[in-house]
Amino acid sequence: MKHFHELEKLERSLIDPTTRFSPEALAALLAEEFIEFGASGRIYDKRQAIEAAAHPDDHAISLHDFAAQALAPNVALVTYRATTRSAAGQERYSLRSSIWKLTDAGWKLVFHQGTPTAAAQ
């Protein structure tokens, strides 16, 4: 896919604490119509995601098995596995998917979903 590396960089930025806990950085990346189905079962819109960013946690997230495919000329689906590790060393695993759209202002995240899963085999 043409924008594979750019999309991977954007997804990695979203799990980086510098972006993840910055309301300003998130506001720049999320589309106005953004919606997330979180691994917790909660649903977030853009406002709620930005509000949550103002409350940092102690979890580190790593990304594995990144893949991207075009859904339309300016729309892409990305998928990956994530491992979330707490400061106490507990790990949780999830399958994640995002839909990005290319706008005049760059790539914007329209949709994200995290689904809990077991550790990858």
Q: Model's pTM, two decimal places?
A: 0.92
Is-contact 23 52, C-beta < 8 A? Answer: no
Is-contact 75 101, C-beta < 8 A? Answer: yes
Spell out, as residue ranges, where the chain has pLDDT lower than 70.
121
In DSSP notation, 37-67 reads E-TTS-EEEHHHHHHHHTS--S-EEEEEEEE
The pLDDT of residue 121: 62
The pLDDT of residue 56: 81
The pLDDT of residue 120: 76
State the CB neighbour count (10 A cutoff) for residue 64. 10
- For the chain, domains (ranges, CATH) are 4-117 (3.10.450.50)
Q: How far is CA 69 from CA 8, 90, 107, 108, in A?
A: 12, 32, 14, 16
The pLDDT of residue 85: 93
The pLDDT of residue 90: 93
The pLDDT of residue 48: 96
Burial of 119 (0-12, 13-18, 19+ CB in 10 A): exposed
